[in-house]
Amino acid sequence: MEPIRFFNRQNGQIETEKVYGESFLRFSYANPLGALPLHAMVKRAAFSRWYGKRMDQAETRSKIAPFIETYHLDPADFADAPESFASFNEFFYRKLKPEARPIHSDAPAVFPADGRHLGFPKISAIDSFFVKNQRFDLGKLLADDELTSRFADGTLVLSRLCPVDYHRFHFPCAGTPGKTRQIDGPLFSVSPIALRRRLAYLWENKRTITRLESPELGLVLCMEIGATCVGSIHQTYTPDQPVGKGDEKGYFAFGGSSTITLFEPGAVKLSADLLENSAKQLELYSKIGTPMTE
């Protein structure tokens, strides 16, 4: 199977992703023999809770230093020293120093997370997602007829977080967020390895939706998508209290996952490099706080 490649906005290069747990993912989603354990165990919430609890154990601290070295993380960005974390999970959802992720002041909306991003200016026109002829089902994703109609011709950005990424997610613009609504579901992987086989994992998985009322951009939907080995999705914001662009919204416990940001029709124009690479089904790597829109 072809490797996962993405365009790195920081250096202007196409890179090949170093996938955490790659052999497990490829067996589960690309090998016919992986179908049985995938559906019998891996997709189930109990499996992810079990794995998350394992990562909460004190002995997992020994994994932190090798992980930092293998994936070339910079401890200077961390708000706390690596040796201060009580477990690998605590390190996984670490905070960063504010100066490590400056928020772009001019862009109307910024990426809500570190990750690899795909952007689509008109949701109803999406006909290719990682591979040709995979159509996006907004109705099943939102499970809300009114919102589905309102956003059908709107703009969508999928931000995929790998296990090696900073795992706190933020608000893409200023506004007032409401309460988060959770939609229960299984926990399949949302890696391209899995989504190339079945895009529907995005709207079948456990997910959350928050309505953000923005004075400048109208109603914005902020979603978090659960995935295999994501122990939980934690919201840290206070509903009905105004937030600034780039303010923290919450964090994922152990595992890779995704966020989805939806804008109403005509509310934003996505950045040129995001549109260019997405048209080639190539994700754009960029960090939280960098421009999502022009």
Catalytic residue among 28, 114, 258, 271: 114
Lookup: tokens for 234: 């934690």
- Residue 278 annotated among the catalytic residues of the structure: no
DSSP string, 219-278: EEEEEEE--TT---EEE-S-TTS-B-TT-EEEEE-SS-EEEEEEE-TTS--B-HHHHHHH
Say whether 234 is catalytic.
no
| Inter-residue contact 29 to 194 (CB < 8 Å) | yes
Dist CA 248 CA 246 (whole Å): 6
Reading across the β-sheet that carries 257-263, which strands appear in turn?
13-16, 5-8, 283-286, 115-120, 155-161, 257-263, 218-225, 207-214, 176-183
Catalytic annotation, pick one of 48, 165, 170, 191: 170
- The question of whether 127 is a catalytic residue gets the answer no
Active site residues: 114, 170, 257
